[in-house]
Amino acid sequence: MPLRPWSAIPIRDCAESLDPLPEAFFRIEPHPYAAVGAPYGEGATPFRLRRGVIQRLLRAQETLQALGLGYRLAIFDAWRPIAVQRFMVDYTIGIRCEAQGLDPQQDRPEVRSVIEEVGRFWAPPSLDPMTPPPHSTGGAVDLTLLDRSQQLVDMGSDIDAIGAVSEPNHYLAVANDAENATDRERALAWHKRRSLLADAMAEAGFAQHPNEWWHFSYGDQLWAWRTGRSLAVYGRTSEG
């Protein structure tokens, strides 16, 4: 898997602590990666982030709630150690290959295509301290919206869906190309929900992953690249 365009940005870690998420946030449980066997280790939990990221998440949730629409944040995934990143990359490649009747261990063009496709969404599980996957820094979070009835809001695709459907503005393009009013209205509704989430997170200082409507970062290399900073302030945590 190739490195990302933000991988060359230097890191000067501020040594901020990795803290548990407060009860103010809804957590999607059972955790989806732990449920398929991802190796977090005994007693470890993915529901942790850098202290400054948690503060900004609280601000984003307050912004959402001030809209009066009944929305709050639902946390899908947060801190992710390298071992889990490696497991999930291999797991995702395996699932995609299995669906196409491919052996992921074979060096075939079709397998290489799957690996390339997965690589647009899953960062390489790099152990190089200068190229950490975003989630290993404690600065990245995957999330969605929760409504008043404690149900996850339909955002037009599942978190971790592979393909163009996951791009933040995908449904704006779909709406513009729609041939009937029903399809256009449905696409615009999904686009509006994604935009509400993105706007609340941006107001709190987060940067959005260019390929993933659910992924937001603060302080890591992706954040620095998207916001024009010369340095990232979060590197891979010692626990990752």
Q: Which residues are catalytic?
A: 212
The set of long-range contacts for 146-155, using a CB threshold of 8 Å and a minimum separation of 24, is 146/26, 146/71, 146/72, 146/73, 146/74, 147/70, 147/71, 148/70, 150/26, 152/28, 152/74, 153/71, 153/193, 154/190, 154/193, 155/190, 155/193, 155/194, 155/197, 155/213, 155/214
Q: Please report which helix (H) or strand (E) contains residue 170, including its range.
A: helix 170-177
Tokens coding 229:
């900073």
Bridge partners of 145, per DSSP, are: 73
User: DSSP labels for 175-233?
Assistant: HHH-SSHHHHHHHHHHHHHHHHHHHHHHHTT-EE-TT-TTEEESSSHHHHHHHT-S-BS
d(CA 78, CA 218): 12
